[in-house]
Amino acid sequence: MGFLRKEYQFLSEIGLGPRNPGCYLNGSWRGSGPLVASLNPANNEVIAEVVEASIDDYEEGMKACFDASKIWMQLPAPKRGDVVRQIGDALRARLQHLGRLVSLEMGKILPEGIGEVQEIIDMCDFAVGLSRQLNGSVIPSERPNHMMLEIWNPLGVVGVITAFNFPCAVLGWNACIALVCGNCVVWKGAPTTPLITIAMTELIAGVLEKNNLPGAIFTAFCGGAEIGQAIARDIRIPLVSFTGSSKVGLMVQQTVNERFGKCLLELSGNNAIIVMDDADIQLAVRSVLFAAVGTAGQRCTTCRRLLLHESIYQEFLDQLLGVYQQVKIGDPLDNGTLLGPLHTPVSKENFVKGIEVIKSQGGKVLTGGYAIESKGNFVQPTIVEISTDAEVVKEELFGPVLYAMKFKTLKDAIEINNSVPQGLSSSIFTRRPEVIFKWIGPLGSDCGIVNVNIPTNGAEIGGAFGGEKATGGGREAGSDSWKQYMRRSTCTINYGSELPLAQGINFG
């Protein structure tokens, strides 16, 4: 087993062993479900084993979590913020080890793995400040001796179901905000990244224990669809945050809606970068490289469509093809690697099948287009010249495949950008103010993230993250996303002795 390798010794320092219980419930570790192996995507060798949660484990954990919510929500919000601050400090102390684990188990390169953990630290900092700003409002009443207030209270328990591509950052977007808002959290991590789920939970559990708080405030399960379905059906969970494909997200939404729960969906993206004829070509090339190749094309914000003005089309492609030849493919833990493996062998198979579909629809491969023969899940970064009318362009192929297309006018480019079912991220490269304001205005991009002169990926935590259409409409992380994790009450208080009615109604 890989766990015994010298380079894996750091795992024991973050609470992991050769075989690990995969659920943290009511303040203790256990697991009575199937035994699964965590694999290293760079060679598909076993890192360690995990005993997943069973439905009985889930039920026991949820009961304790629901009960703990009555304690946690009564703690003053700034006190809750201080606990989240301590979680951030614990993450800082383990930043390198946790980042290395993300790289090892997920497959993204080490700088990105460390950056993902840093993102949670940033979210902790944001949430600490937020804990003193969960403000309501005072509303003028039309009735004498009356006062109207708007106040925010916790929901109770928030369910968080995360995906493999950001196995802990998305937890941070949700859990940091949910916790300061007074909610307990039940987390189901991705089935293929259980070690990250365990290591993160171990750290959070330590902070709760240090503060003499119930461990059930943060409940975590390693498991598959059965646990996810249980969360979606559970009436004790008013809000379910789900990150994954549009297909599965729709099923989750339907299940949650059937019990009148709320969903926060972060689903598929099919993101475009538009390069206008006045763009800074070098800046745009560097941006496209990161947006299309970063995380091996497995970000929901990965650039999948490159729209080039016809006057700079060939010049831009020539420069981009040149930098693609310099991309170092290899072990994500090695210095200098820019492209690590896809996450699973199935992802590699889907890449190969996707290239065949692209070719069958008239796509011309300009570079790449092949899987690399190795024990790992490596593929070549690929650029394809294709028509904007090809059906495959409307789908999300989760890998480093970039579609290059021409356009004539800004109007054409915006129409192409908006022509796909997804609506997550978009970016335009231009120096002209009139183009910029057209792009970010009502007749511009229809996405939730609308950038100018930066890539489609690499969002900061200070803004609300999410998209429109088949991306799900959810908003997480910064801005006023916190309002989704609380319930709003409008309160009218009569402090007089008369009973005037609204709208001047006289009743009896």
Report pLDDT for 6. 79
Report pLDDT for 255. 98
Asked if residue 3 has pLDDT above 70, the reply is no
Task: Report the alpha-carbon distance of residue 356 to residue 384 in Å, rounded.
Answer: 12
Torsion over CA of 147, 148, 150 and 156, rounded to 10 degrees? 80
Inter-helix orientation angle 95-106/194-210, to 10°: 160
Residue range 53-69, pLDDT digits in tens = 999 999 999 999 999 99
DSSP 54: P
Residue range 78-95, pLDDT digits in tens = 999 999 999 999 999 999
Residue range 430-446, pLDDT digits in tens = 999 999 999 999 999 99
Asked if residue 50 has pLDDT above 70, the reply is yes
Inter-residue contact 498 to 152 (CB < 8 Å): no
Specify the DSSP element, H or E, that contains 82.
Answer: helix 77-93
Q: How much is the average pLDDT of 339-346?
A: 98
Catalytic residue among 202, 266, 396, 476: 266
pTM of the model as a whole: 0.96
Residue range 155-197, pLDDT digits in tens = 999 999 999 999 999 999 999 999 999 999 999 999 999 999 9
Q: How much is the average pLDDT of 291-303?
A: 97
Asked if residue 4 has pLDDT above 90, the reply is no
Asked if residue 501 has pLDDT above 70, the reply is yes
Task: Report the alpha-carbon distance of residue 435 to residue 180 in Å, rounded.
Answer: 40
Residue range 208-230, pLDDT digits in tens = 999 999 999 999 999 999 999 99
Inter-residue contact 104 to 40 (CB < 8 Å): yes
Task: With CA atoms as reference, report the closest residue to 20 among 174, 199, 218.
Answer: 199
Sign of the C-alpha dihedral computed for residues 306, 311, 317 and 322 taken in this order: negative
Asked if residue 1 has pLDDT above 60, the reply is no
Q: How much is the average pLDDT of 221-248?
A: 97
DSSP 12: G
Report pLDDT for 5. 79
Q: How much is the average pLDDT of 135-146?
A: 96
Residue range 371-427, pLDDT digits in tens = 999 999 999 999 999 999 999 999 999 999 999 999 999 999 999 999 999 999 999
Judge whether 105 counts as a catalytic residue: no
Asked if residue 508 has pLDDT above 80, the reply is no
Neighbouring residues of 159: CB distance < 8 A, sequence distance ≥ 6: 185, 186, 187, 188, 231, 232, 234, 237, 239, 240, 241
Q: How much is the average pLDDT of 20-26?
A: 97
Report pLDDT for 200. 98
Task: Report the alpha-carbon distance of residue 297 to residue 292 in Å, rounded.
Answer: 6
Confidence of residue 7 (pLDDT cuts 50, 70, 90): confident
Specify the DSSP element, H or E, that contains 251.
Answer: helix 246-258
Asked if residue 104 has pLDDT above 80, the reply is yes
Report pLDDT for 156. 98
Residue range 261-289, pLDDT digits in tens = 999 999 999 999 999 999 999 999 999 99
> Percent of the chain at pLDDT above 70?
99
Q: How much is the average pLDDT of 105-121?
A: 98
Asked if residue 2 has pLDDT above 90, the reply is no
Specify the DSSP element, H or E, that contains 111.
Answer: helix 110-130
Task: Report the alpha-carbon distance of residue 333 to residue 109 in Å, rounded.
Answer: 6
